[in-house]
């Protein structure tokens, strides 16, 4: 099996956890793998749904929830999940600005298995996805699946434009990664004082000469945020581009290019640029059977997302210059992620 070709039981299809991948009358296959879920909630709106997912997961893998929620919520979670998962607080001896990284480092250290899935609280694997990740980790140190939103409200449609462009130009940055525990511990984890934690983990592994697979066919469902949360994330997500100069320069060029085309009264240029962006997104949508999980209309979101990133890119730069970083919880984080050369020097 090629790292970039799906095994027979990992066909790209929109499937929900605990439904299509469970055959009636058969017991679930338990994998020697640990699932780490870093959590920090301010309300329990989605507790019942998440608990159902955790119950499904717990029949298939070991589950560790590293919970940085306030004490009252932590206590409630401990009561609801007792006997279902290992429920831990972040290690008090570990310090850093990014709470998710602290949770990941705590969970990976506590894991009993070599193969570890790290996933945000809105990620929903199915059985085929877990199996595919487990098989890939036999051959590589890090697996980078592909998320898709289901359901698809307007803001998830909007953000899927970014996903498709990333797929066309390389690989997307999902809300889940999987690692070999021994490699993670040998490289000392990754820096907890950066904003773009997934990129930091990927680059740290590369600096350590680890191996990586980013199979475009490995689709893992993700629940969309609510619209208010989506709006609140726009500048913060654009700040991630400060760690990727080529992407940042492209984003910063959008508004000047738009202004130049308007000033020159060349609407054909604007239409051509929009059409080219849609065509590029469509290439990403069709890659590796993506049409099964990305509806046709999602390619039309790419120019809308690119215009948004053009605006938010300037706002992100302003946050860096004027305030020294972007707001993250009760603090500000200055660095999006370290360049690989800096990580190699640190190694």
Give the pLDDT means over successive 10-residue stretches in the chain (347 positions).
Answer: 49 53 68 98 95 98 97 97 97 93 98 98 98 98 98 98 97 97 97 97 97 98 95 96 96 96 91 97 98 98 98 98 93 96 91
Tokens of residue 260, six digits: 């130049």
pLDDT of residue 54: 98
Tokens of residue 269, six digits: 């240029």
Asked whether residue 62 falls in the same domain as residue 210, the answer is yes
Provide the CATH number for the domain around residue 58.
3.90.550.10
**Could you give the number of structural domains in the chain?**
2
**Position 25 in a domain:** no
Asked whether residue 300 falls in the same domain as residue 185, the answer is no
Q: Which structural domain, as residue segments, surrounds residue 45?
A: 33-226
Asked whether residue 119 falls in the same domain as residue 155, the answer is yes
**Position 24 in a domain:** no
pLDDT of residue 213: 98
Asked whether residue 219 falls in the same domain as residue 258, the answer is no
pLDDT of residue 179: 98
**Nearest in space to 195 (alpha carbons), one of 336, 315, 327:** 336
pLDDT of residue 27: 80
Asked whether residue 235 falls in the same domain as residue 284, the answer is yes
Asked whether residue 162 falls in the same domain as residue 249, the answer is no
pLDDT of residue 73: 97
**Nearest in space to 147 (alpha carbons), one of 115, 175, 169, 170:** 175
pTM, two decimals, is 0.93
285, 286, 287, 289 from 279: Cα distances, Å? 10, 11, 13, 16
Q: Which of 210, 226, 242 delimits the end of a domain?
A: 226
**Position 105 in a domain:** yes
Asked whether residue 243 falls in the same domain as residue 185, the answer is no
**Position 4 in a domain:** no
> How much is the CA Rg of the chain, to the nearest whole Å?
20
Q: Which of 226, 257, 277 delimits the end of a domain?
A: 226
CA dihedral 206, 32, 39, 163 (to 10 degrees): 50
**Position 315 in a domain:** yes
**H or E element that contains 204:** helix 197-207
Percent helix, strand and coil across the chain, each rounded to 5? 50, 15, 35
**Position 87 in a domain:** yes
Q: Which of 191, 226, 261 delimits the end of a domain?
A: 226
Asked whether residue 342 falls in the same domain as residue 242, the answer is yes
pLDDT of residue 346: 85
| Residue 287 contacts residue 167 (beta carbons within 8 Å) | yes
**Position 213 in a domain:** yes
Asked whether residue 189 falls in the same domain as residue 254, the answer is no
Asked whether residue 72 falls in the same domain as residue 201, the answer is yes
**Position 217 in a domain:** yes
Asked whether residue 109 falls in the same domain as residue 195, the answer is yes
Asked whether residue 151 falls in the same domain as residue 291, the answer is no
């Amino acid at each position: 099996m090629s790292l970039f070709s799906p095994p027979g039981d990992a066909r790209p299809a929109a499937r929900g956890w605990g439904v299509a991948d469970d055959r009636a009358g058969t017991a679930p296959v338990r994998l020697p793998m640990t699932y780490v879920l870093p959590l920090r909630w301010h309300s329990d709106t989605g507790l019942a749904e998440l608990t159902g997912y955790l119950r499904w997961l717990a029949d298939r893998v070991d589950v560790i929830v590293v919970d940085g929620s306030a004490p009252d919520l932590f206590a409630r979670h401990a009561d609801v999940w007792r006997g279902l998962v290992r429920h831990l607080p972040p290690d008090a001896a570990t310090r850093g600005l990014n709470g998710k990284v602290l949770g990941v480092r705590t969970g990976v250290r506590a894991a009993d298995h070599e193969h570890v899935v790290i996933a945000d609280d809105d990620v929903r694997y199915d059985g085929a996805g877990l199996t595919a990740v487990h098989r890939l980790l036999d051959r590589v140190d890090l697996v980078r699946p592909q998320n898709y939103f289901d359901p698809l409200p307007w803001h998830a449609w909007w953000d899927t434009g970014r996903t498709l462009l990333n797929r066309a130009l390389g690989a997307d940055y999902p809300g889940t990664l999987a690692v070999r525990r021994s490699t993670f511990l040998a490289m000392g984890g990754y820096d907890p004082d950066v904003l773009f934690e997934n990129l930091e983990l990927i680059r740290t592994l590369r600096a350590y000469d680890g191996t990586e697979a980013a199979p475009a066919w490995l689709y893992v469902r993700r629940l969309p945020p609510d619209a208010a949360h989506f709006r609140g994330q726009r500048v913060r997500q654009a700040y991630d581009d400060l760690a990727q100069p080529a992407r940042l320069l492209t984003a910063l060029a959008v508004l000047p290019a738009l202004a130049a085309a308007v000033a020159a009264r060349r609407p054909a240029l604007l239409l051509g640029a929009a059409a080219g962006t849609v065509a590029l997104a469509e290439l990403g949508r069709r890659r590796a059977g993506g049409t099964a999980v990305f509806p046709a209309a999602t390619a039309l979101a790419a120019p809308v997302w690119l215009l948004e990133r053009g605006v938010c890119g300037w706002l992100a730069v302003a946050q860096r210059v004027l305030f020294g970083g972007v707001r993250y919880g009760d603090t500000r984080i200055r660095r999006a992620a370290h360049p690989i050369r800096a990580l190699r020097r640190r190694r």
